[in-house]
């Protein structure tokens, strides 16, 4: 795990940021283990960052199915 910089300099702030980074790392490792795919944790993290506000099934997203294959919910509007 690599943390490039910290937002604050107090002990509490640094420990909180290390704890959050550790939680994110463990969640990504669990997602990689559950999906059983060859994608790296960095690719999974980027995929989740880019699709943060899309309401899609996580396993469908990780397997790379196109967006058009998943039907819209009845209360979700289509953008274009």
34 domain-assigned: yes
24 domain-assigned: yes
15 domain-assigned: yes
75 domain-assigned: no
Q: Taking 90 as the threshold, does the pLDDT of residue 71 lie above it?
A: no
73 domain-assigned: no
Domain span at residue 53 reads 11-68
2 domain-assigned: no
76 domain-assigned: no
Higher pLDDT, 54 or 72: 54
Domain count of the fold of the chain: 1
* Alpha helix (H) residue ranges in 1-80: 11-35, 41-50, 58-63
Instruction: Give the integer Cα–Cα distance in Å for 76 and 56.
Output: 12
3 domain-assigned: no
Instruction: Give the integer Cα–Cα distance in Å for 68 and 54.
Output: 13
- pLDDT at res. 66: 59
């Amino acid at each position: 795990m690599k943390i490039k910089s910290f937002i604050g300099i107090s002990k509490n702030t640094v420990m909180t940021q290390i704890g959050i980074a550790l939680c994110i790392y463990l969640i990504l490792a669990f997602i990689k283990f559950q999906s059983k795919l060859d994608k790296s944790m960095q690719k999974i993290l980027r995929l989740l960052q880019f699709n943060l506000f899309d309401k899609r099934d996580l396993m469908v997203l990780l397997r790379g199915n196109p967006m058009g294959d998943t039907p819209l919910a009845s209360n979700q509007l289509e953008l274009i």
